[in-house]
């Protein structure tokens, strides 16, 4: 176990080094969501918002950002596979999951940094308490990250070439985005509705934040555990069926 986590530490540092060496990509990764947030909420800037109003008007974008970043991390691992790196690294690490965990640690760190900036901007723009908002967003990230990973892991359980991986990334992102909007049009989303929480990562993240900030945690805990167990099982199955070889060599 010590060797496993030592290798996770080494490869996490390696992935961070790759990002640091390409400063433009790092700034783009962290800064672009903040820019989009500003563009999407510009009409509310300067207007004091309650936490519930913040959840309704701003948090859906943050939820989409969390989901899309995790999905990008999974497709990045898939692209490494298609270039033969998973096959190569399998002989160098105690378990190929070292690479997945390392990539996910990099992703959650970048998300945490982005949320710090978002909390600072939102605190000034919407007259919210910075530290309270940062704690709420950080705890939301901690709670939604594992189920979101389980939601996205099936990408690695299917043999796909790089072009197909990119297409799946775009299609799934659009389906989640427009599917979540469609849910809002055809039904009234309920905090504890298991179908909505399972189907839509955006509504799931939104509901976790609302449960944390509106005193609804005890009411929501059963639904949260259902989502956690369900997507945990999906993620476990996906990992057990992880595709190691590139599609051309499979």
**Over 60: is that where the pLDDT of 250 sits?**
no
What is the model's pLDDT at position 30?
66
Percent of the chain scored above 70 by pLDDT?
88
What is the model's pLDDT at position 105?
94
- Phi/psi at 216 (5° precision): -110, 15
Of 97, 83, 192, 195, residue with least CA distance to 149? 97
Whether 105 is in a domain gets the answer: yes
169-212 pLDDT tens trace: 888 888 887 777 777 666 666 788 888 899 889 899 999 999 99
In order, the DSSP letters of the chain are -HHHHHHHHHHHHHHHHHHHHSHHHHHHHHHHHHHHHHHHTGGGTTS---HHHHHHHTHHHHHHHHHHHHHHHHHHHHHHHHTTHHHHHTTTSS-THHHHHHHHHHHHHHHHHHHHHHHHHHHHHHT--HHHHHHHHHHHHHHHHHHHHHHHGGGGGS---HHHHHHHHHHHHHHHHHHHHHHHHHS---TT-HHHHHH-HHHHHHHHHHHHHTT-HHHHHHHHHHHHHHHHHHHHHHHHT---S-TTT-
Whether 249 is in a domain gets the answer: no
User: How far apart (Å, rounded) are the C-alpha atoms in residues 126 and 119?
Assistant: 10
User: How far apart (Å, rounded) are the C-alpha atoms in residues 230 and 219?
Assistant: 19
**36-48 burial string, b = 16+ CB within 10 Å, else e?**
ebeeebeebeeee
What is the model's pLDDT at position 11?
84
Whether 138 is in a domain gets the answer: yes
Whether 250 is in a domain gets the answer: no
Whether 223 is in a domain gets the answer: yes
- If one counts the domains in the chain, the total is 1
Whether 215 is in a domain gets the answer: yes
**Over 60: is that where the pLDDT of 245 sits?**
yes
User: Any idea which residue has 């080494």 for tokens?
Assistant: 10
Range of the domain at 195: 2-240
Whether 136 is in a domain gets the answer: yes
**Over 80: is that where the pLDDT of 132 sits?**
yes
107-126 pLDDT tens trace: 999 899 889 988 998 888 88
Question: Could you tell me the sign of the dihedral formed by the alpha carbons of 3, 9, 101, 197, in that order?
Answer: positive
Whether 58 is in a domain gets the answer: yes
């Amino acid at each position: 176990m010590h060797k496993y986590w030592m290798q996770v530490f080494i490869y996490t540092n390696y992935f961070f080094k790759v990002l640091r060496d390409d400063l433009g990509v790092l700034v783009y990764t962290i800064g672009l969501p903040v820019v989009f947030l500003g563009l999407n909420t510009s009409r509310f800037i300067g207007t004091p918002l309650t936490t519930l109003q913040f959840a309704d008007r701003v948090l859906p974008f943050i939820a989409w950002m969390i989901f899309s970043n995790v999905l990008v991390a999974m497709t990045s691992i898939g692209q490494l596979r298609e270039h033969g790196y998973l096959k190569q690294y399998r002989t160098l690490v105690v378990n190929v999951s070292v690479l997945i965990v390392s990539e996910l640690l990099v992703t959650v760190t970048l998300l945490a940094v982005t949320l710090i900036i978002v909390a600072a901007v939102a605190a000034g723009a919407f007259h919210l308490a910075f530290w309270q908002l940062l704690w709420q967003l950080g705890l939301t990230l901690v709670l939604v990250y594992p189920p979101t990973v389980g939601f996205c892991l099936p990408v690695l359980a299917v043999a796909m070439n790089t072009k197909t991986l990119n297409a799946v990334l775009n299609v799934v992102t659009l389906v989640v985005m427009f599917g979540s909007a469609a849910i809002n049009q055809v039904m009234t989303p309920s905090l504890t509705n298991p179908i909505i929480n399972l189907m839509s990562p955006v509504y799931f993240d939104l509901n976790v934040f609302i449960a944390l900030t509106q005193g609804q945690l005890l009411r929501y805990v059963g639904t949260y555990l259902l989502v956690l167990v369900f997507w945990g099982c999906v993620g476990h199955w996906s990992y057990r069926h992880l595709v190691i070889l590139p599609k051309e060599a499979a």
